[in-house]
C-alpha cells in the first residue's frame, strides 16, 4: 500500500489506564506471544485474583448509557421561544386587567403549541443505549487454565476467550489460534462479506478492515473457532470509541427551524416596538391605561401567527405519511423539510447502492474470455463473448462453472423472482453462475457426489473436494485465491502464470473479487484427499470474477439526484478498487479516476479537508472518525448533508449529518436510533424519492407561509389604524375607544380560520420542476422578496376592506340599535370580511406565480373541504348564541354578509394581475429562493445551472 498510516485506532491504542502494557502497541502487528507478554497473561489465562484486580482498575466491560434530556428540560425548550413569551405576557396582562376570558384563551393557545412541540421531541433517539445491547451477556473465558462462562461485563484486558460459530465477540481481542474463522464485521467496516481472520500479524499501517489478526467487540462469528486475548474492553473498544464519537456528534437545527427562529425574533421585536408605540399613541389620544394596555395586547395577539407552529407540524406529518408510502420512515419530524434542501448525499455502498448479492460477471478460461449477464441471485442471464450471446456453452466454460458449483457449500432456493442464498455469498455467486448457463446444481451434486473435502481455511486460502465423476473415475476440485491455486497447477498452454496473473489484475482493477478453479483426475479407487495431492499437478480450469453489482434503480436515482443539483458521494469500508469500479458504474465519477482511502484522509489537515471532501466522490476503507470528519467538512462548506448507513460505524456520522438515513433491513439498532429516516427497502432510490417529497413539502410550506402572514400583518394594520384614527366615543363621560376586533376574535381568525384554510395547502401536488432545479440555499431567507411583497399587497387589501366595512356597518347601525350592538355587528362584519379575503386568497396560493388553471381547480379537493368546514364554523360564529357570548359577535343581515364576500373577492383580480406581471418578467419564486444569496458567491461545485420555472 502507498497510503500513509491511518490515525491510531483504539484497538491498537494503549489499554485503559493501569494496564500491564505501558505503551500503545499496534496489537494487530505483534505476534501472539508478544501480545500475551505485553498484557501480562499467558495461554492459561488470568487467575481469579488478577481478573478481580484488573476489573477494579479498568471497570466493567460495558458501554455506559448516556442519559437523554428529561421531560422538564424538553418542556422548557418548548416554552423558551419569543412567540411564547409574548403570548404568556399578554395572557397575564389581560387577566390582570380584568379581561379573564381573553387571557384564558391566549393561555390555551400557549398550552396547545407547547404540547405539540413536547410530544414531537419526546421521541428522541437513544443511540448510545442501543450500543450497549450489542455486547453479549456471557463469554467463555480461560481462567487459571480452566474454561468457564462468565458475564461479558466482567471481562478484563489479558483474559483469554474461546470463540465458536454463532458467538458475538465480547471485546476487542488479538487472535492466539484459529481454525477457519470468519467474522461478520459489516456493522463496523462496511464489508459486504464476512472477514476471514487468521493468527499471523499484519503490517502496522493496516486499516481497520484489513486487521485480520484482530476481532472486535459487537461483531459476529459466522464460522470456525478461535482463541483470543482481550486487548480492550468497554469504552476502549472500537464499539466504545463509536459511542464516544456518537456523544460528540451534534444534532443540527434544520434549515426551516433556523429560518422560523429568525422570523420569530424579528416578528417579536417588531411586535414589542409597535405595541409600545401604540400604547403611547392610545394614552396620548385619551385612552384609559387599561384600555391602552388591552390594545397593545390585542396587537400582539393579532400579529403573532399562533397557528403557524401547528400548520408546520401537521404539514410535516402529512409529508411523513407520504414518505412512508415511498418506503422512507421518518423518525424525526423536521427531517421531512430538511430533505428538500439537501445538497449532498453521502451513501454507503453495500446494499444501498448495490444489491448486496455477489454476482459472477466475468469468466476466463485458457481459450478466452466470457461474460455473464444478469445480476443478483435469480438464475437468469446468458453467456456472452465479445458482447454477443453464445449459442452452445463451450465445454471449457461448462467445466469451469460445474467445478465451481461442486466445490461449494452454498445452496440456492426460490422460484420466480424470489431467490434466497444459504451459505457464503461468494460461493453462492458460483452456484448462480452455473445455473445461468443451464446447469442444474442440485442434479449435478447428486450425479457427482462429494466423497471427501479439505474445508476452506483462511491460512490456506483454498478449498478442495473429491467427487465421483459418474463414469467410474474420481476428480479433485480446488478453488481459492488465484495466486494460491496457480502455484499448485502444472504448466498449461495458453495459461502461463504471467498470463493468468495479468488477467487477475485486469479483473481486480474492475473491482472484482477473483477465484481460480482447478482440477485433478485420480483413479476410481482413490480414498480421499491429502494436502500433498493438492500441492501440485493441478490443471487450471479458469477464473471467475464477481462483484456486488449496483442496483439498476440506484443508477437511475443517482442520475435524478444529479439533475436535481444534488452531489452523491460513496463512503464505504470496502476495498478501494471495488468502490472505484462501482462508483464509475453509478456515474459518481469517471472510470479510472481514483478515490481516496481513509488512510489518505487521515493525512489531510482540517483546513484542506473541506476542499478534498467536496471534490472527491468515492471514499474507501473509511473508519467511523473519517465519516464524521467528512460530514463536518461538507457542512463547513454550507452543504446540507444526508448520510446513509447501516452499521454501528455509521452511527456518529448519521447523527452529525443534517439528515441521517438508516437501512431498515440490514441496519443495526444503533444506526436506526441515530438516524432521522429509516428506509424499509434499503434502496438508494427511496432516498431520491424522499428528497422529492421533501421538496414538495417545503414548497407547500412556503405556500402556507405566504397565505398566513398577510392575515397577521393585515390584522395588525387594522388595529394600528383604529388606534391612530378611530373616534373615541363618549357615553356619559366615559370615553370608549372603538376597536375593530377583540382579542378573542383575532384568535378565532388566527387559529380556527387560518389553520383550517392553510392545512389543505399541505396536500398540493408537487410542482412540475421539483426535481429539475438546484437545492435551495439553506441560508436563504424564507421571507424572500416575493413573499414580503405579496404579504404587503394582500395585507393592505385586507386591512382596507375590513376597516371600510367596519365603519360602514357601525355608522349604519348606530342610530338604530345603539353603540353596543352596533359595535358587535361592525366587529363581526370586520371578521367576516377578513375571512372572505382568506378564502379567495387561498385559491391564489395553490400556485404562487402560476395560473390556477395550470394546477387544476379540482386537483386538490381538500381545499374545498377546508373552505366548506370554515363556512360552517363562521356561520356558527355569527348565529349560534353560545358562540356570540364567547366571542362578542352579533348576527349579520344577508346584505352585510354578501357585501363582505363580494369585497373579499377583490383579491382574485389583484393577485392575478400581479402574477401576470411577474410571469411577463420571467420571475420565479423558486429562482428567488435560490438566488437571493447567490449574488455573493458562485454556485457550489456539482450543482446544475438553475432552470427557469
Which residues does the annotation mark as catalytic?
Answer: 348
Length of the chain: 949
As a whole number of angstroms, the distance between CA 410 and CA 163 comes to 23
Matching residue, cell 394614552: 283
C-alpha cell at position 584: 464509475
Residue 165: φ, ψ to 5°: -55, 135
C-alpha cell at position 550: 449496483
* Contact present, 181 and 458 (Cβ < 8 Å): yes
As a whole number of angstroms, the distance between CA 645 and CA 439 comes to 37
Residue 160: φ, ψ to 5°: -100, 125
As a whole number of angstroms, the distance between CA 631 and CA 650 comes to 11
CB burial readout 257-273, b (16+ within 10 A) else e: eebbeebbeebbeebee
C-alpha cell at position 518: 482447478
For 86, what's the count of Cα atoms within 13 Å in the CB-facing half-sphere? 26
Distances (CA, A) of 644 to 70, 128, 316, 625, 628: 29, 18, 21, 15, 12
How large is the C-alpha radius of gyration of the chain?
A: 36
Residue among 392, 424, 426 nearest 516 (CA):
426
Q: Which residues contact 59 (CB under 8 A, 6 or more apart)?
A: 16, 234
Pairing of strands 138-143, 418-422: unpaired
Q: Helices (H), strands (E): how many in the chain?
A: 35, 28
* Contact present, 386 and 717 (Cβ < 8 Å): no
* Contact present, 388 and 358 (Cβ < 8 Å): no
C-alpha cell at position 553: 434503480
As a whole number of angstroms, the distance between CA 44 and CA 140 comes to 13
Pairing of strands 383-385, 388-389: antiparallel
Matching residue, cell 448486496: 356
DSSP string, 111-144: HHHHHHHHHHHHT---HHHHHHTTS-SEEEEEET
Pairing of strands 462-468, 474-480: antiparallel
Distances (CA, A) of 936 to 170, 931, 932, 933: 54, 9, 9, 6
Matching residue, cell 442444474: 440
C-alpha cell at position 516: 481460480
* Contact present, 738 and 719 (Cβ < 8 Å): no
DSSP string, 825-878: HHHHHHHHHHHHHHHHHHHHHTSSSS-HHHH-TTS-THHHHHHHHHHHHHHHHH
C-alpha cell at position 305: 401567527
Pairing of strands 567-571, 344-347: parallel
As a whole number of angstroms, the distance between CA 373 and CA 220 comes to 33
As a whole number of angstroms, the distance between CA 889 and CA 883 comes to 8
Q: Which helix (H) or strand (E) holds 759?
A: none
Count other C-beta atoms under 10 Å from residue 65's C-beta. 14
* Contact present, 572 and 349 (Cβ < 8 Å): yes
Chain mean position to CA 107? 37
Amino acid at each position: 500500500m502507498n497510503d500513509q498510516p491511518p490515525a491510531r485506532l483504539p484497538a491498537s491504542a494503549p489499554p485503559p489506564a493501569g494496564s500491564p502494557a505501558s505503551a500503545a502497541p499496534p496489537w494487530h502487528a505483534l505476534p501472539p506471544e508478544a501480545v500475551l507478554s505485553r498484557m501480562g497473561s499467558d495461554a492459561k489465562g488470568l487467575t481469579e485474583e488478577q481478573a478481580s484486580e484488573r476489573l477494579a482498575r479498568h471497570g466493567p466491560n460495558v458501554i455506559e448509557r448516556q442519559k437523554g434530556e428529561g421531560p422538564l428540560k424538553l418542556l422548557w425548550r418548548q416554552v423558551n421561544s419569543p412567540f411564547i413569551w409574548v403570548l404568556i405576557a399578554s395572557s397575564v396582562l389581560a387577566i390582570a386587567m380584568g379581561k379573564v376570558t381573553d387571557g384564558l384563551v391566549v393561555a390555551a393557545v400557549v398550552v396547545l403549541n407547547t404540547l405539540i412541540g413536547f410530544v414531537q421531541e419526546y421521541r428522541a433517539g437513544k443511540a448510545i443505549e442501543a450500543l450497549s445491547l450489542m455486547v453479549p451477556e456471557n463469554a467463555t473465558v480461560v481462567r487459571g487454565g480452566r474454561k468457564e462462562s462468565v458475564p461479558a461485563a466482567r471481562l478484563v484486558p489479558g483474559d483469554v476467550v474461546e470463540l465458536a460459530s454463532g458467538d458475538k465477540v465480547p471485546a476487542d481481542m488479538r487472535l492466539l489460534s484459529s481454525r477457519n474463522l470468519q467474522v461478520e464485521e459489516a456493522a463496523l467496516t462496511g464489508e459486504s462479506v464476512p472477514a476471514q481472520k487468521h493468527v499471523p500479524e499484519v503490517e502496522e499501517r493496516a486499516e481497520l478492515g484489513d486487521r485480520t489478526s484482530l476481532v472486535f467487540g459487537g461483531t459476529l462469528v459466522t464460522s470456525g473457532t478461535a482463541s483470543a486475548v482481550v486487548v480492550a474492553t468497554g469504552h476502549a473498544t472500537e464499539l466504545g470509541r463509536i459511542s464516544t464519537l456518537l456523544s460528540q456528534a451534534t444534532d443540527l437545527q434544520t434549515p426551516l427551524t433556523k429560518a422560523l427562529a429568525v422570523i420569530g425574533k424579528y416578528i417579536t421585536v417588531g411586535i414589542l416596538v409597535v405595541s409600545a408605540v401604540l400604547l403611547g399613541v392610545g394614552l396620548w389620544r385619551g385612552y384609559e391605561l387599561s384600555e391602552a394596555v388591552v390594545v397593545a395586547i390585542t396587537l400582539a395577539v393579532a400579529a403573532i401567527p399562533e397557528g403557524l407552529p401547528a400548520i408546520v407540524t401537521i404539514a410535516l406529518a402529512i409529508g411523513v405519511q407520504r414518505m412512508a408510502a415511498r418506503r422512507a420512515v421518518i423518525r424525526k419530524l423536521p427531517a421531512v423539510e430538511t430533505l428538500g434542501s439537501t445538497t449532498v448525499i453521502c451513501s454507503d455502498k453495500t446494499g444501498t447502492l448495490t444489491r448486496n448479492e455477489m454476482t459472477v460477471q466475468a469468466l476466463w478460461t485458457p481459450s478466452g474470455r466470457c461474460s455473464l449477464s444478469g445480476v443478483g441471485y435469480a438464475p437468469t442471464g446468458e453467456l456472452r463473448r465479445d458482447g454477443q450471446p453464445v449459442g452452445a456453452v463451450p465445454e471449457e466454460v461448462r467445466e469451469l462453472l460445474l467445478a465451481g458449483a461442486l466445490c461449494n457449500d452454498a445452496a440456492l432456493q426460490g422460484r420466480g423472482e424470489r431467490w434466497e442464498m444459504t451459505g457464503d455469498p461468494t460461493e453462492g455467486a458460483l452456484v448462480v453462475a452455473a445455473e445461468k448457463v443451464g446447469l442444474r446444481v442440485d442434479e449435478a451434486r447428486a450425479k457427482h457426489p462429494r466423497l471427501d473435502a479439505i474445508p476452506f481455511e483462511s491460512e490456506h486460502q483454498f478449498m478442495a473436494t473429491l467427487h465421483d465423476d459418474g463414469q467410474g473415475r474420481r476428480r479433485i476440485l480446488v478453488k481459492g485465491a488465484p495466486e494460491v491455486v496457480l502455484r499448485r497447477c502444472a504448466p498449461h498452454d495458453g495459461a502461463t502464470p504471467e498470463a493468468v496473473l495479468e488477467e487477475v489484475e485486469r479483473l481486480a482493477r474492475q473491482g472484482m473479487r477473483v477465484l481460480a478453479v482447478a482440477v485433478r483426475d485420480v483413479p476410481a479407487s482413490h480414498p480421499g484427499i491429502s494436502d500433498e495431492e493438492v500441492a501440485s499437478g493441478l490443471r487450471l480450469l479458469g477464473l471467475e470474477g464477481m462483484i456486488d453489482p449496483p442496483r439498476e434503480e440506484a443508477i437511475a436515482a443517482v442520475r435524478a439526484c444529479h439533475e436535481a443539483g444534488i452531489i452523491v458521494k460513496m463512503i464505504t469500508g470496502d476495498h478501494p478498487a471495488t468502490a472505484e469500479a462501482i462508483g464509475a458504474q453509478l456515474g459518481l465519477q469517471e472510470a479510472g479516476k481514483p478515490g481516496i482511502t481513509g488512510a489518505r484522509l487521515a493525512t489531510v489537515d482540517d483546513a484542506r479537508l473541506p476542499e478534498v471532501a467536496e471534490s472527491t466522490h468515492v471514499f474507501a476503507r473509511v473508519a467511523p472518525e473519517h465519516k464524521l470528519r467528512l460530514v463536518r467538512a461538507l457542512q463547513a462548506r454550507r452543504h446540507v448533508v444526508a448520510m446513509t448507513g447501516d452499521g454501528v460505524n455509521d452511527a456518529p456520522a448519521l447523527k452529525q449529518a443534517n439528515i441521517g438515513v438508516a437501512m431498515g433491513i440490514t441496519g443495526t439498532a444503533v444506526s436506526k436510533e441515530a438516524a432521522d429516516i429509516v428506509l424499509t427497502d434499503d434502496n438508494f432510490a427511496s432516498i431520491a424519492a424522499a428528497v422529492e417529497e421533501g421538496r414538495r413539502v417545503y414548497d407547500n410550506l412556503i405556500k402556507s407561509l405566504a397565505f398566513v402572514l398577510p392575515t397577521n400583518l393585515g390584522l395588525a394594520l387594522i388595529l394600528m389604524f383604529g388606534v391612530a384614527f378611530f373616534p373615541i366615543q363618549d357615553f356619559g363621560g366615559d370615553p370608549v375607544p372603538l376597536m375593530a376586533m377583540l382579542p378573542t376574535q383575532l384568535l378565532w381568525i388566527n387559529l380556527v380560520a387560518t389553520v383550517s384554510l392553510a392545512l389543505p395547502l399541505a396536500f398540493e401536488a408537487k410542482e412540475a420542476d421539483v426535481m429539475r432545479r438546484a437545492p435551495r440555499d439553506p441560508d436563504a431567507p424564507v421571507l424572500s422578496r416575493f413573499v414580503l411583497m405579496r404579504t404587503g399587497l394582500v395585507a393592505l387589501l385586507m386591512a382596507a376592506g375590513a376597516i371600510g366595512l367596519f365603519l360602514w356597518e357601525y355608522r349604519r347601525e348606530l342610530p338604530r340599535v345603539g353603540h353596543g350592538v352596533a359595535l358587535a355587528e361592525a366587529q363581526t362584519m370586520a371578521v367576516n370580511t377578513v375571512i372572505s379575503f382568506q378564502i379567495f386568497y387561498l385559491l391564489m396560493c395553490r400556485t404562487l406565480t402560476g395560473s390556477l388553471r395550470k394546477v387544476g381547480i379540482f386537483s386538490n379537493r381538500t381545499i374545498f373541504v377546508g373552505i366548506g368546514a370554515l363556512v360552517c364554523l363562521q356561520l356558527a360564529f355569527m348565529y349560534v348564541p353560545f358562540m356570540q357570548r364567547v366571542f362578542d359577535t352579533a348576527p349579520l343581515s344577508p346584505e352585510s354578509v354578501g357585501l363582505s364576500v363580494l369585497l373579499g373577492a377583490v383579491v382574485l383580480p389583484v393577485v392575478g394581475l400581479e402574477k401576470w406581471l411577474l410571469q411577463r418578467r420571467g420571475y420565479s419564486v423558486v429562482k428567488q429562493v435560490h438566488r437571493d444569496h447567490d449574488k455573493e458567491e458562485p454556485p457550489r461545485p456539482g450543482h446544475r445551472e438553475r432552470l427557469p420555472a
